Structure 1
Amino acid sequence: MRRRDRGPGGDNSRPGGDNSRPGGGNSRPRGDNSSAPCAQVSSSSSHLINHGIENRTISRYETTAVYTHPNAEVDIVLVHGLNGSPEKTWTARNGIFWPLDLLPGSLKGLQANVLVYGYNADVYSGRIDRSASDNFIHHHAQTLVTSLTLFRRGEGTFKNPIIWVCHSLGGILVKRALLYSNDVRGHHHQIYRSLYVSTFGLIFLGTPHTGADVASWGLMLQAMSDVVIPRRFFESESVLLRTLKKDSETLANINNHFLDIYQRFRIHMVHENHKTDIKGTKIIVVDADSASPQLPGVTYYGVEATHSQLCKFASPSAPGFRALSTDIREWIIEAPAVIHGRWKAEEEDANRRMRNEIQEHIFPLVTETDVHREDVPTAALPQYQGRLIAPRGKDTARWWVFLQEDDGVHGFNAD
């Protein structure tokens, strides 16, 4: 990635994982999402593609950049869903990993970095069920915010606009992450607001915003699993499935709070039109009501695909890909100016809050003498009007404290 900017602080480290690399109701086209097997894509670790750099060494957890371009001004971030991974979720039966094999070429000369994020969403993992709690989504959201923020800061793309592509549970996780990012306060954690400030748009693929039937999840996961999973597991033991069931309290809380912020983002919600065939039983895993709750300003459409095929595109003509790539292309054009304005407003607000804190906590404790620029030593304060202040009852020290509109609050020790 090109080093464009830096967030606050100078620590460019990022979380673990093998992330190394060389440098309202709009309709969409529909069709059949089936894919016949064909030759696997190249297994080389990394090489140039479309003048960018591709990386096929994908970390199972946290953040991996699979495509970077030196002129990219936007980050596209993909987050998988239940029982998924940052590689298999986006890979079609013919081996096409579309975030790398299709997406960069579909942007028609526009440039963006493509990142994938991984977390433990294995519903049948014994470890996850013994250690998980009702705060499962919240804890994973915090990790997502931390991982992606530090990754982008380390790459110098801290203020790049973000376009999210989320499948299933991944959409719930991203919504919770944005809420957490928005709620962050305090100077030491201010960098984690960057995801909220930088987010331009979200594409939700089969996300169960209001939950789904536990039995449907169980049938689908049983079909995806290589082992036989007891029915009782899906009905009583899985924290993940409890979180995703219809009328889940966790989902309701996330949705209620997300209503306060969603209108600042471009949002497209996509639902499955094909039933999933599981040993002769055909089901819609996440119905349109849950995947596309009606909200003003949100775009909705269905794709002729099953729940698991919504996120797998075998070719540029696969159902749903043209719509998704067109959305992303348009957002790449629009996002930089919008997000630049939001960052400017964010920094102005931070400066105002800092000035208010100084006035509230420092000025009441001191005596003040107004001074003009001509009275101030030029070496200390060459071009600003300020205040000469001293702690009450003490004559041993004085400070120059002045407020500068652009850079916040500065102080100089006068004697």
Structure 2
Amino acid sequence: MVQNGILVALWRVVHMFNKEAALKALCVNIIVNISLFSQLHHQIFQSGWIGLLAEFFGPQHASLNLAAGKALANMDQNSRKCGVYDRSVYLLHPFMDVIFVHGLLGGVGWTWRQSELLGMNSDYSECWPRDWLPADIPDLRILGVDYATSLSHWKSRCPDDARRSAINSRADQILLSLKLAGVGGRPIVWVGHSMGGLLLKQLLVNASKSTDPELQNIVRNTKALLMLSVPHDGSSVATLNLPARFLLLPSVEVEELRKGSNILDNLNLEFKNLLLKFPIAIVSLVETKATLVQPWGIEFKFVEPNSADLLSAGEVHYLPVDHFEICKPLNRNSFIYQRLIKLILGVRVGSPPKDLVLTLPEHK
């Protein structure tokens, strides 16, 4: 049946009879049965069904989301290690995506480690989002965006790296990866640290401009942002005159982080316009301590408070931590972690809190 084109036929039926809920449910359940066979997963991907399943997995499709979630889980290699889900068993979670985006020179394996200030005991977490969030809120899918950055072009691997590392191009690359992961089919809470927050803003702006409905769903289903020391109007780190001229040939990322960058000014304007169209809750946590820069042994403020509060939207907290500590909670009782928990739970029970959403001023 698959070789004879049933996947494409079912895809067309769903689009032709978009208002026929029972017929769409039948088509999705057929896909569920096909997804039981791993050798057919490539054909399902090629047929365009992944985007539909991701869309149907959202809470707005009550009659389809369980079956869609089952099919997606069957095609998830990690989920298959725990078994597959046939017509008798439904995957009841996750309900929401929480996506972490690291900053300059960061990474999933380093940025989101627990703070070492209290020591590395048996409870120490190498990745606190992975270890803590599922225990406190079980029905989450937790994703970490990983990408390479550099402070200097001397680290670039090929001439094309400069073009690809521009924030706009990088945002488009990440959007495609998120689309493949099925992001956009369920509510989303984002966590961005430093440059990661800028990248997050850019990818949401790009998604809102896209003609691809799957990418548009990413911004439509974005419910909240937790911004961790994000330099909305740039950072003085981009103009540091460090010993050995380490920044003699700055990378594209550092150039775009400079104070007064036209790229950041335009991004701020576009993002504020986006916030007026979509009800997105924003919580900003801002560092107030200088960060010790090694190996030179100097202290420097990566993000000034006025830069991290430039959005003029949502809630802002100034914390006595440095640029690296702000993304590394001491423990699960940390204000940083508890504010994220509160934000996620607020989104989970309904619409984003109105006091955290940018609204148009009333006309008198």
TM-score by length of 1: 0.58
Is the counterpart of residue 268 in structure 1 residue 279 in structure 2? no
Structure 2 partner of 1:309 = 325
Alpha-carbon distance in 2 for matches of 1:304, 1:207: 16
Alpha-carbon distance in 2 for matches of 1:71, 1:217: 47
Structure 2 partner of 1:181 = 207
Unaligned runs of 5+ in 1: 24-45, 48-68, 220-228, 339-415
Structure whose residues are more often strand by fraction: 1
Task: Return the offset for 1:269.
Answer: 1.3
Aligned equivalent of 1:208, options 216, 227, 231: 231
Indicate the SS of the match to 1:165: strand
Give the 3 Å change call, closer, same or farther, for CA 239–215 of structure 1 in structure 2: closer
Q: What amino acid is the match of 2:188?
A: I
CA contact (8 A) 2:239 2:258 kept: no
> How many equivalent residue pairs?
269
> What per-residue deviation string (whole Å, max 9, x for no partner) do you get for residues 269-317 of structure 1?
111022112354322110111111152x421112221101111124113
Aligned equivalent of 2:113, options 66, 91, 109: 91
Indicate the SS of the match to 1:21: helix
CA contact (8 A) 1:149 1:194 kept: no
Structure 2 partner of 1:330 = 346
Task: Return the offset for 1:172.
Answer: 0.7
**Where do residues 61-76 of structure 1 align in structure 2 (5 Å cutoff)?**
70-76=92-98
Unaligned runs of 5+ in 2: 1-27, 33-44, 55-75, 83-90, 355-364
Aligned equivalent of 1:289, options 296, 300, 306: 306
**Where do residues 341-380 of structure 1 align in structure 2 (5 Å cutoff)?**
none
Is the counterpart of residue 251 in structure 1 residue 264 in structure 2? yes
Task: Return the offset for 1:215.
Answer: 5.5
Larger Rg, first or second structure (1 or 2): 1
CA contact (8 A) 2:238 2:257 kept: no
Structure 1 partner of 2:145 = 117
Alpha-carbon distance in 2 for matches of 1:128, 1:208: 28
Is the counterpart of residue 165 in structure 1 residue 172 in structure 2? no
Aligned equivalent of 1:193, options 216, 231, 249: 216
Aligned equivalent of 1:300, options 310, 316, 324: 316
Task: Return the offset for 1:20.
Answer: 4.0
Q: What amino acid is the match of 1:195?
A: I
CA contact (8 A) 1:277 1:283 kept: yes
Task: Return the offset for 1:134.
Answer: 8.8
Give the 3 Å change call, closer, same or farther, for CA 218–317 of structure 1 in structure 2: farther
CA contact (8 A) 1:122 1:128 kept: no
CA contact (8 A) 2:165 2:253 kept: no
Structure whose residues are more often helix by fraction: 2
Q: What amino acid is the match of 2:256?
A: T
